[in-house]
Structure 1
Amino acid sequence: MAINAQGGSVVPTPGQPNPTVYTPKELQPILRLSKTGVAALLHSGQLRAIRVGRKWLIPASALTAFLEGR
């Protein structure tokens, strides 16, 4: 997964499937944030996510919307 420099959108890396949901751990290198930074985005509601038990799942559409500033 890579970030497009022009639009800031997430583009798939060749040869790897495009996930439909991400875990906070998967977002850390994409957003270049620490575990605490990703958690802060989730708890503040800036990054839309679904809570399943104790696990956070972030839809790919929510990541794209966050990166595009929507």
Structure 2
Amino acid sequence: MGANARLVESLIGRRWVVMQAAREAGASWSQIGEALGMSKQGAQDSYRRAIERQERYVSKFHDTARGRAAL
């Protein structure tokens, strides 16, 4: 895999961090979806799936309760 592909994969994989920060700063799901080029529902679904992956695979390394609170 090339460097560009790894970078894109990393950025997409960590997108939830930015989404969580935006929610905690008061952004709506509509605003987040628009910024990411997706619908409100698409943004929520993407974030929810990321939190579920954290809970399943790396819960001891992440504050999943904080992540769920941003939903």
When you count strand as a share of all residues, which structure comes out higher? 1
Interval containing the TM-score (normalised by the shorter chain):
0.3 to 0.5
TM-score (norm 2): 0.33
When you count helix as a share of all residues, which structure comes out higher? 2
Which of 1 and 2 has greater Rg?
Answer: 2
